[in-house]
Structure 1
Amino acid sequence: MTYLIKTYQLSKSYDGHAVVSNLNMNVQKGEIYGLLGPNGAGKTTVMKMMTNLIKPSSGEIEIFGETVTEHSYEMLKRIGSIIEFPVFYEKLSARENLQLHCEYAGYYDHLAIEETLTLVNLQAVNNKPVKSFSLGMRQRLGIARAIITKPELLILDEPINGLDPIGIKELRGLFQTLCHEYRMTMIISSHILSEVEQIADTIGVINQGQLIEEITVKEIHERYTEYIEIRSDDIQKAVYVLEEILCIDNFRVMDGGWIHIYTLSLPQTEIAKQFILYGIHIEEIKKKSLSLEDYFIHLLDRGLQHA
């Protein structure tokens, strides 16, 4: 197994406040890695440290088998990125913005400009000033600028944030093309769970600066494909029976009187039997499939409980 990125106890603090804490992250070569977490979880800070925009307070980052330092100039040439919002020369066209970027980067393959504009579906508007671009067009131009030098690693911070469904679908296809056809390893941060589920190979769940879990999407589907859902009018007593009588602690109380039970070692008939014995009325009980959103929320809850 080849890792393109590894972090070791990576931490970043500002004025004594930990934004990222002891983060150990592993990104395999050739995969799309989804960094998931709510706003303020530390995703952007991690990406800024990877791209040398800010320095870690402690810990190390290893990319391409080398430790990232303030002198890692050659390493950065192999990385493309969008951190926060891409900024352009507003009066210039998409093509002119890319030409300037290539000049800065010392990259003189001018055929790559046309190829990249076509790849991100901006070939029809490449002569219009960027100030007339929609948000989706700006995002695609930002990605074009990040990939024009054909980097081995692409780091994208919330690239689908604010896009409409059509724009999201277009970028989803683009990311898969870049990974599978152009062999780019990608890290994509997002809080839009359904989209990450469709494109990521591995997800890292981060909250309050801590990496709660790192797991492949395939493993999630295999390990957590089902859960038991119960609806009752006496949640307090139901929780007591689950914890004290059935010794189940892997569950979550939802709104509307619902409880999701993720431990499937006991059949739902046994759970129903114990509820009835303790006088708990069951309005509904059934097995359901677990989505990435369910899993993500469950992880965040458990992470907060153990923080």
Structure 2
Amino acid sequence: MSKNEILVAKSLSKSYGSVTALYPTTLSIAKGDILGLVGKNGAGKTTLLKLITGQSLPTSGELELFSAVMPEGLRQARQRIGAIVETPSFYRDLTARQNLEYYRIQRGIPGKDVVDVVLGEVGLSDTGRKKFKDFSLGMKQRLGLALALMNHPDFLVLDEPINGLDPMGIVEIRELLLTLNREKHITMLISCHVLAEMQNLATAYAFIDSGKIIKTMTAKQLEENCNPYLRLVVDAENRVAALLEQHFEGIHYSIQPDLSIHIYNLPGRADEVNQVLVHNNIRLSSLETRGTNLEDYFVSLVGRETDG
């Protein structure tokens, strides 16, 4: 584990009898990142989060948190985690403040003022005597987040925090999470099955399907994959790359494993690129515009959403 990594999972897996919920999984999260764990319902997201937070024991593999590996070290490291995994249990007939005070005492968190502080952070200071059973879904999500923040965590693990919210609720939770990340420097792992909602939050992504992490990438790489780009197949790709740098100031490109060249910031200028290549006697096998939208990219990786 490097100093910049707060979590490293190595071949982490979970089986229930003959049923494998999570196949051997390798994953790392860098300090300060917001990692979006994206997959369909039932893909294994919650299973992975439970292993990380200690709510479930792995069948095999190794987990490092804040450089701690051994069971005792992990227990101490998990004290630096705030988590919402599945629906938090709150007392229906208690207010927001009463519910949090109960958990503060139960968990041995010092200082009564912490309840007022976290209620303020999540925008629930004015709920007064309103009971939890009368809360809207958005208010319930906020109270769950307040509970996760009570121990002043360095790392938040959130299971579908925007699930079921209306558009305004989604915006409010998103802005709150971004504020916590930017101002309090809290690293986050957030599961979600809607990629379009994660794109405004995540700095990195891990795509999971049928209990397997099938792809990881940064937000920048995702953007490059989804936005229109020019794909060139040429001879002498390194020479062509240098040539393009000379003719197109600020060009943003990459050479792919198949040796094709992807140009990301020259949409609609395929003719100009072609002219440069022809003028310099470059043999061009293919020049085309590619790209997709976020939803199509998600579907291409994990398939359509299904019930269950």
- Output the TM-score relative to the length of structure 1: 0.76
Mark the CA change 1:71 to 1:90 in structure 2 (over 3 Å): closer, same or farther: farther
Find the residue that maps to 2:224 and give its secondary structure: helix
Asked if structure 2 preserves the Cα contact closer than 8 Å seen for 1:155 and 1:188, the reply is yes
Match of 1:22 in 2: 24
Q: How far did residue 173 of structure 1 move? A: 0.2
Find the residue that maps to 2:117 and give its secondary structure: helix
Match of 1:77 in 2: 79
Structure 1 distance, partners of 2:300, 2:101, is 46
Asked if structure 1 preserves the Cα contact closer than 8 Å seen for 2:225 and 2:291, the reply is no
Asked if structure 2 preserves the Cα contact closer than 8 Å seen for 1:227 and 1:264, the reply is no
Match of 2:215 in 1: 213
Q: How far did residue 142 of structure 1 move? A: 0.3
Find the residue that maps to 1:186 and give its secondary structure: strand
User: How many pairs does the alignment contain?
Assistant: 251
Match of 1:189 in 2: 191
Match of 1:201 in 2: 203
Which runs of 5 or more residues in structure 1 are unaligned? 229-262, 270-285, 302-307
Asked if structure 2 preserves the Cα contact closer than 8 Å seen for 1:82 and 1:155, the reply is yes
Q: How far did residue 135 of structure 1 move? A: 1.0
Match runs of 1:121-200 below 5 Å: 121-200=123-202
Amino acid at match of 1:19: A
Match of 1:96 in 2: 98
| Higher mean C-alpha displacement, 76-85 vs 119-128 | 119-128
Find the residue that maps to 1:92 and give its secondary structure: coil
Structure 2 distance, partners of 1:48, 1:220, is 27
Amino acid at match of 1:160: I
Asked if structure 1 preserves the Cα contact closer than 8 Å seen for 2:8 and 2:65, the reply is yes
Find the residue that maps to 1:220 and give its secondary structure: helix
Q: How far did residue 22 of structure 1 move? A: 1.2
Asked if structure 2 preserves the Cα contact closer than 8 Å seen for 1:52 and 1:70, the reply is no
Which runs of 5 or more residues in structure 2 are unaligned? 231-259, 263-268, 272-287, 304-308
Instruction: Decide which of 7, 10, 15 is 1:8's aligned counterpart.
Output: 10
Amino acid at match of 2:199: E
Asked if structure 1 preserves the Cα contact closer than 8 Å seen for 2:13 and 2:25, the reply is yes
| 1:35-75 alpha-carbon deviations (Å, 9 max, x no partner) | 00001100000000111111111111111111263773322
Match of 1:64 in 2: 66
1:32 counterpart = 2:34: yes
| 1:180-216 alpha-carbon deviations (Å, 9 max, x no partner) | 1111111000012111011000000000111011100
Structure 1 distance, partners of 2:71, 2:33, is 24
Q: How far did residue 20 of structure 1 move? A: 0.6
| 1:229-256 alpha-carbon deviations (Å, 9 max, x no partner) | xxxxxxxxxxxxxxxxxxxxxxxxxxxx
Asked if structure 1 preserves the Cα contact closer than 8 Å seen for 2:38 and 2:207, the reply is yes
- Percent identity, aligned pairs only? 39
Asked if structure 2 preserves the Cα contact closer than 8 Å seen for 1:35 and 1:43, the reply is yes
Structure 1 distance, partners of 2:70, 2:82, is 15
Structure 1 distance, partners of 2:40, 2:204, is 17
Match of 1:292 in 2: 294
Structure 1 distance, partners of 2:212, 2:177, is 26
RMSD: 2.3
| Higher mean C-alpha displacement, 44-53 vs 62-71 | 62-71
- Output the TM-score relative to the length of structure 2: 0.76
1:109 counterpart = 2:88: no
